[in-house]
């Protein structure tokens, strides 16, 4: 049974819904049934498709459903889980949660902007050889669940964004807007303009949640981050977020998800997941416990969005007061890769069991010719080799 909920183009005027029995269609698998349902919705010029693999009553009134659909559409999220088996949940608000460790899907909702993407996957790939859960990982990079019964009362932890940038005049406003528009009130953004040659620093609007530091000389991202963490005032329980000035958040629920993750799982650090700018596919790998036997030799999985409690950095300063872990043998600070140089230390202090992977898109990475990876590849590799050769720090029981 497939239910299609017609909406106007601007998703504001709800019309009557109807159900269409697809049992007469030639469909041998759930994937083929889904393809048929999407084609039917496209022919009928419908905007929303509710699909269930078995009989299931959507226990939500139409006005609330309409509000939820509009909310997620504004976030550019076009897939919603409805009836799902999962192990982990992070409430976003009183109607939506993010879920992970999904092991059964019975019903979901699709919005028109994703119809063609799913049709292409179903039509041009050997989808019969793909497991159902793997298929949903492809088409649902945002693990959002309609959760109107969620017990959502989460105080907001203070979140600090540290964003060093250089020569990103084309991108800095998009980065700024994606952060400032978060549906979250308790945050501050620390922008550091690393002696740019363009006017990017002048484009950042004055705002009570924002500060901008202008460097007279170039210091590179690592030292800018370290100086901010050492010079500004932070509480131990504050959450620190690192965002490059040429990247952005994908939607306005990022801070709510981060806060929920820390409240739900008592973690000290989080990571994942990212998408490339304006792309759908989700990227991110998960660390295993064995990786922490020597994290510096492990494959690098610590992808954005990368966050940590400030007390982890405070412990780093206790164990390495002279910051030798992020310096060369001659005592100079490493320029790059800043992520490995800083986060190997924090991962060692945190340990596997206080680290949490967020399995939904939290960050959009923008590739362009001026990325350090493209302009300073040799320096990146030299820095990685030096960082991986450092001794390990001691895990701390907080």
* Kind plus residue range of the DSSP H or E element containing 115: helix 115-124
Give start and end residues of each alpha helix (H) in 351-393.
Answer: 372-375, 377-388
* Kind plus residue range of the DSSP H or E element containing 91: strand 79-91
Peptide bond into 337 cis (omega under 30): yes
Rg (CA), the chain: 23
Q: Give percent of the chain above pLDDT 70.
A: 88
pLDDT band at 137 (very low <50, low <70, confident <90, very high): confident
Residue 179 tokens read as 């952060």
Residue 59 tokens read as 């226990």
pLDDT band at 60 (very low <50, low <70, confident <90, very high): confident
CA 277 vs CA 67, 143, 283, 317: distances in Å: 27, 18, 12, 35
For the chain, domains (ranges, CATH) are 2-146 (no CATH), 159-388 (3.90.550.10)
By CB neighbour count within 10 A (0-12 exposed, 13-18 middle, 19+ buried), where does 205 fall? Answer: exposed
Q: What is the pLDDT of residues 238-277, one digit of tens each?
A: 999 999 999 999 999 999 999 999 999 999 999 999 999 9
pLDDT of residue 329: 86
Peptide bond into 80 cis (omega under 30): no
pLDDT band at 192 (very low <50, low <70, confident <90, very high): very high
CA 245 vs CA 175, 274, 369: distances in Å: 6, 15, 15
pTM over 0.85: yes
Rounded Cα–Cα distance for residues 376 and 370 (Å): 9
pLDDT of residue 132: 79
Of 356, 291, 285, 384, nearest to 98 (Cα)? 356
In the block, residue with structure tokens 């498709």: 49
DSSP letter, residue 268: S
pLDDT of residue 35: 84
Q: What is the pLDDT of residues 352-367, one digit of tens each?
A: 999 999 999 999 999 8
Q: What is the pLDDT of residues 140-188, one digit of tens each?
A: 999 999 998 766 778 999 999 999 999 999 999 999 999 999 999 999 9
Give start and end residues of each alpha helix (H) in 75-114.
Answer: none
Residues paired with 107 in a beta bridge = 52, 83
């Amino acid at each position: 049974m497939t239910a299609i909920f017609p909406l106007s183009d601007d998703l504001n005027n709800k019309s009557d819904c109807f159900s269409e029995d697809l049992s007469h269609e030639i469909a041998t698998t759930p994937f083929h049934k889904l393809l048929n349902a999407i084609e039917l919705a496209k022919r009928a010029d419908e905007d929303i498709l509710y699909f269930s693999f078995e009989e299931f009553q959507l226990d939500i009134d139409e006005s609330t459903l309409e509000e939820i659909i509009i909310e997620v559409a504004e976030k550019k999220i076009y897939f919603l889980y409805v009836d799902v088996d999962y192990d982990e949940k992070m409430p976003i608000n009183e109607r939506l949660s993010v879920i992970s460790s999904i092991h059964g899907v019975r019903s979901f909702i699709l919005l028109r902007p994703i119809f063609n993407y799913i049709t292409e996957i179903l039509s041009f790939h050997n989808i019969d050889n793909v497991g159902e859960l793997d298929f949903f990982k492809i088409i649902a990079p945002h693990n959002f669940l309609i959760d109107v019964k969620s017990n959502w009362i989460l105080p907001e932890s203070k979140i600090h964004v540290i964003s060093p940038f250089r020569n990103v005049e084309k991108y800095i406003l998009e980065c700024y807007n994606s952060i400032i528009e978060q549906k979250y009130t308790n945050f501050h953004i620390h922008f550091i303009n690393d002696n740019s040659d363009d006017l990017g620093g002048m484009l950042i609007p004055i705002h009570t949640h924002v500060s901008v530091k202008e460097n007279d000389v170039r210091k590179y991202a690592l030292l800018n981050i370290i100086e901010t963490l050492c010079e500004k005032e932070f509480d131990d329980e504050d959450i620190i977020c690192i965002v490059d000035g040429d990247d952005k958040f994908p939607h306005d629920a990022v801070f709510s998800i981060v806060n929920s993750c820390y409240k739900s799982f008592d973690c000290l650090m989080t990571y994942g997941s990212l998408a490339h700018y304006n792309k759908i596919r989700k990227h991110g790998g998960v660390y295993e416990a064995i990786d922490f036997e020597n994290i510096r030799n492990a494959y690098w999985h610590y992808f954005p969005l990368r966050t940590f409690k400030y007390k982890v950095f405070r412990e780093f300063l206790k164990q390495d007061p002279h910051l030798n872990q992020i310096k060369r043998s001659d005592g100079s600070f490493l320029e790059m890769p800043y992520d490995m140089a800083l986060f190997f230390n924090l991962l060692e202090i945190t340990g596997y069991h206080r680290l949490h992977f967020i399995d939904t898109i939290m960050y959009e990475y923008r590739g362009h010719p001026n990325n350090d990876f493209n302009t300073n590849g040799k320096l990146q590799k030299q820095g990685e080799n030096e960082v991986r050769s450092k001794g390990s720090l001691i895990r701390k029981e907080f």
